[in-house]
Amino acid sequence: MQRKLEACRRIVVKAGTTTLTSAEGNFSGAWLEKLGAEILALTGRKKEVVLVSSGAIARGMEVMGFSRRPREMARLQACAAIGQGKLIHDYEKFFSRRQRHTAQVLLTRDVFEDRDRFLKARNTFEDLLKMNILPVVNENDTVATEEIRFGDNDILSVYVAHLVHADLLILLSDVDGFYLEDGTRIRIVPSADEIDRELVKHLRDRQKQKNVGGMKAKLEAAKVAMRLGIPMLIVDGKNDGILEKVIANEDVGTLFMPSREKHNERKKWISFSAAKKGTLVLDEGAYRAVSQSEKSLLASGIRQLKGRFASGQVVELETAEGKIFGRGVVRFSSQELAAVLGKNSQEIRQLYGDKSPNAVVHRNDLVVWA
C-alpha cells in the first residue's frame, strides 16, 4: 500500500488547529502559508486536493484577544462565526496571489444523511475540482453544536473523503503518528479490529485549550475510513515538507490500511453517512445468519427494537450483548415491526397480507462491520 501512495490522485488533507497555531497556541499566518505552499506543491504534481481546515474558533479567539478556549456554547459559536470568514480570507489571500482560488464549503451532517443532498454535494465538489479550485471545508460551527462538543474535524474529513472518492486521507496532527505507552510509533495498522483489540488500551492523550480533538477522535475516524476502503495517515503537520514526504513514501506517521472488503456506493452510504433512526436487537441465531451466512434479517430473529422509524429508513443492528455490528434499510415501520417481533413469515402475511415483505432487512440492504 505504501508504494501506491505516490499514485494517489485525489487527496483530502485535514489540518488540525495545532497545525495552524504557534507553540504558544496563537493562530499563525506563517503556519497557514506553510500549509498552503505544501498544498500547491501537491497540485503541481497533478494531485487534486480538498482541504478540511480547523482553526475558525482559534482565529476568532485571536481577534477577540481570548487566551483560553471559552466554555460557554454561545461564546464558542461566536468565536467560530468571527473566525470562519477571516480564516477563509487568509487562505484565499495566499492562493489568489499564486493564481489559484479557494471555495468555502460549510457542511452539516444532514448533507450526508440525505442521499439526494449527498449526491448533489458530490457533484459540487467535482465541479470545483474540475475548475482547479481548492475547496476549503469546515463544519458549520455556528449552527452545528455537535462538532464543537464532541470532536474537531477528524470525522468530518472522513465524510468528505468518502464524498469525493478520495484515494488518500491525510490528518495533519501535532504528533508524528500513533504512539504506544513505551514510545513506540506504530507505522502501519492493518485492520480496524486491531484498533479495538490492541491500540485503544495503550492510548495516550492530552487535553488541549484551543481544539477539542485528540488521538482518540483520530482513531475513531481511522476505523470508519478503513471500513470505507480509504487509506488514512496521521502525520506531524509541522514536519517540514510533510505532504511531499508522504507522497514520496518516506517513513512518516502511521498508516491505517483500508479494508479489502468491497461495498458498492449505496452500501457505503448505508454504512456510514445515512442517518440512523433506530436499533434492532438480534438473538444469537439471527446474528450468525446475518453476519456469517449473509442471510436477510427476519422478524423471527429480532428480540427488541429501539427508537421510532419508518419503512425505508436506516437502523443499526445490535447483538443481545450490546455490540453494534451493522446497519440496514428496514422494510417495516417501528409500529408495524413491534407487532411482528419473533413471528415467522406466514404469521406476518396473516397480519399484513401476501404483499408484505418476507424480510425485515433484505441482505442487499445490509452492511455488516464485524
**pLDDT higher than threshold 50 for residue 147:** no
> Domain extents for the chain?
2-263, 275-368
Structurally, at CATH architecture level, domain 275-368 sits in Roll (2.30)
Share of the chain above pLDDT 70, in %: 89
**CATH number for the domain running over 2-263:** 3.40.1160.10
Question: Tens digits of per-residue pLDDT, 23-75?
Answer: 887 888 999 999 999 999 999 999 999 999 988 888 999 899 888 888 888 88
CA 205 to each of CA 26, 64, 173, 213, 217: distance values in angstroms, whole numbers, following the listed order: 21, 29, 13, 10, 10
- Please say whether the beta carbons of 225 and 158 come within 8 A: yes
Query: What are 201's three cell numbers?
Result: 488500551
Residue 196: the pLDDT is 66
Query: What are 210's three cell numbers?
Result: 484551543
Min mean pLDDT across 199-208, 236-245, 306-315 is at 199-208
Question: Tens digits of per-residue pLDDT, 210-222?
Answer: 444 577 788 888 9
- Whole-structure pTM value: 0.80
Reduce the DSSP state of residue 139 to 3 states and report it.
strand
Query: What are 121's three cell numbers?
Result: 454535494
Rounded Cα–Cα distance for residues 169 and 49 (Å): 10
Instruction: Label residue 295 left, alpha or beta by phi (over 0 means left) and psi (-120 to 50 means alpha).
Output: beta
